[in-house]
Structure 1
Amino acid sequence: MSDLKFPDLPGITWQVSWQPSFNTKIQTAVSGKEYRASLMANPIYKLTLNYEFLRHGAKNELRQLVGLFLQTRGAFDNFLYKFPDDSAVTDQLIGVGDGKTKIFQLSRSFGSAFSEPVQNVDVVTNIKVAGVVKTGGYTVSESGLVTFAAAPTGDVSWSGSYFYRVRFEQDSQEVEQFMKDLWSAKKVQLIGSLGRRI
């Protein structure tokens, strides 16, 4: 598992695909009745990025993308990706302090009913307890665990940014040259990666 970061490249098009997916085991009885078991509490995200241009030469965007692919040996190693449309929260509720609990997991919500842990923290702007910014008395681990020196009481929230931990979905990556020193990568496929390399 590495802390390499996917480069911020300017040639990306608006055709970005973002696909959350779960793993559900479905068994259908002879009567037609279904029995379903959810094998994942949180989704794995698939992203498809299209780069209209990657400059070769002074800007070196081609070498940044291909270099990361070569460094991770394709799908072998994972890295961090900051998805522009989902990389930050403001005053995200992470729990209610009961005066006993000292550890809280950073999280982010989608809609009003779904929340999932944030485990690849970029920056924690602030931690609030009962609406008041804490200036100390806590630590935040790389995996997003907030540990308070004294157990808080009241709503606990955070503001900050985070990364997706992903890997290349395939062991090959096509890039095409369409002009001198200009290349494109029509399909850069990334998939969430929680596992460790062997």
Structure 2
Amino acid sequence: MSDAVYPTLRGRTWPITREPHFATVTHTAASGREFRFTNQTIPKYNFTLKYNYLRQDQKRQDLDVLEGFFLDRYGALDTFLFAYPVSMPGDEALWNTQIGTGDGTRTTFDLVRRRAGRLERLYNFIEGEYTFAPLMWHPWNPAQAMWTAGNAPMWVNGREWQRAQWSIANGQVTFNTPPAALEPVVLTTKVYWRARFAEDYVSLDHFCKEFHDAQEVKLVATMGPYL
């Protein structure tokens, strides 16, 4: 399981197809009544990406980047991190997103985002790309003025947590000392899926001297910690 990040390439085009799916086991009695249970509570997604062109010349090596990334994963063997390739409500990076409120004693908070009308726990992070230190603008507190009367930055009411003051594991953050009562706990991070290639092959078409395309790059992904 690697933390290599799926590459961003200019030739990607529309549509982006995603298919959420579960694993439901269904038993049917002689009467016709069904009994169902699920083998998974976190859905898996099938993603299909299209690349109308992959440029390969002295200026850009898009083909080498995509094909090399596939070869380095040994096809479907190794997993990697995949960020949804366009900014879309619910799938964009989190920025000063409130994930909890301190009470003076609680130290552990769930790492969550809201997507598709539900809370979704986050497991996949890259060190250095996330923080619990409030940034300058607070979307969760838009009424607060930019500067206080004493010319202090507007984040003075939120603690600037340093990296040594927290640890993350199993979709949760644990602080060394509890946030104060009513203190907002905010998360800023890029959101990654845990993904793998769906097949052990990828089709690359050479349609012009310096250009290839890939009409179907299929991924299997989950917001969970593993596949």
Q: TM-score, normalised by structure 1?
A: 0.85
| Secondary structure of residue in 2 paired with 1:121 | coil
Q: Which residue of 2 aligns with 1:135?
A: 160
Q: Which residue of 2 aligns with 1:173?
A: 202
**Which amino acid is 2:46 matched to?**
K
**In the alignment, does 2:14 pair up with 1:10?**
no
- Largest Rg, 1 or 2: 2
Residues 64-115 of structure 1, C-alpha deviations (whole Å, 9 max, x = no match):
0000011110001011111123242245443454443312231111244x22
**In the alignment, does 2:172 pair up with 1:145?**
yes
Going by fraction, where is strand more abundant, 1 or 2?
1
- The range that moved more, 85-94 or 52-61, is 85-94
Q: 1-side partners of 2:104 and 2:25: how far apart?
A: 40
Q: Which residue of 1 aligns with 2:115?
A: 110
Q: Which residue of 2 aligns with 1:182?
A: 211
Q: 2-side partners of 1:97 and 1:133: how far apart?
A: 11
Residue pair 2:194, 2:226 contacting (<8 A) in 1 also? no
Consecutive unaligned residues in structure 1, runs of 5 or more? none
Q: Which residue of 2 aligns with 1:124?
A: 130
How has the CA–CA distance of structure 1 residues 29 and 94 changed in structure 2, closer, same or farther, with 3 Å as cutoff?
Answer: farther
Q: Which residue of 2 aligns with 1:69?
A: 70
| Secondary structure of residue in 1 paired with 2:195 | strand
How has the CA–CA distance of structure 1 residues 134 and 34 changed in structure 2, closer, same or farther, with 3 Å as cutoff?
Answer: farther
Residue pair 1:17, 1:47 contacting (<8 A) in 2 also? yes
Q: Which residue of 2 aligns with 1:82?
A: 83
Consecutive unaligned residues in structure 2, runs of 5 or more? 135-139, 142-156
Residue pair 1:42, 1:116 contacting (<8 A) in 2 also? no
| Secondary structure of residue in 2 paired with 1:54 | strand
Q: TM-score, normalised by structure 2?
A: 0.75
| Secondary structure of residue in 2 paired with 1:14 | strand
**Which amino acid is 1:56 matched to?**
Q
**Which amino acid is 1:38 matched to?**
T
Q: 2-side partners of 1:44 and 1:97: how far apart?
A: 33
| Aligned pair partner of 1:159 in 182, 188, 197 | 188
- The range that moved more, 161-170 or 25-34, is 25-34
Residue pair 1:120, 1:142 contacting (<8 A) in 2 also? no
